[in-house]
Structure 1
Amino acid sequence: MVGPAHAAAIEEARRLGAAGWKVNGAGGSGGSLTLVAGSSATSATAPALARALGALDAGWTVLELAPSRVGVVVEELPMR
């Protein structure tokens, strides 16, 4: 079950050629939506997807993330 705001975002992502998406939570208030930009020349880039989502709802927080090529890195910060 996906709420109307997430459904609209998925439709826009599909229209722009996103490679995929995943709704986490119930798809309503407090839920999150992850989109994967496409890799072909006709697919949406991450910035294009971010702009489109911002235009759909200015209240959304759009984070442009990318997978790490080196995996998880844990850094120990000095105690104050």
Structure 2
Amino acid sequence: MKWESDPEDFSPSATIVPFDPPLPLLRAPMKAGLGDRPSAGSFVLAFKDAASWRSAFRATESKILEQCELAELAGFSLARQ
């Protein structure tokens, strides 16, 4: 029978899928201040410090530029056809 195959097919090394550890959050919930909108709740997501904000900004900026360059290349190749 098919289900009576080699027991090695069902060993932990054959069936467990390893995952990378999760990345730490760049933003964390912080108590909302008096100037924040009360309708948004008592917590806001905020960067822990200026360095984490800069890191997120640079990563986002880099991704946007990369996507624009890819779109430009795709447009250029379509225009040349």
TM-score normalized by the length of structure 1: 0.24
Higher relative contact order (CA 8 A, sep 6+): 1
Higher helix share: 2
TM-score, structure 2 as length reference: 0.24
Q: Which has the larger radius of gyration?
A: 2
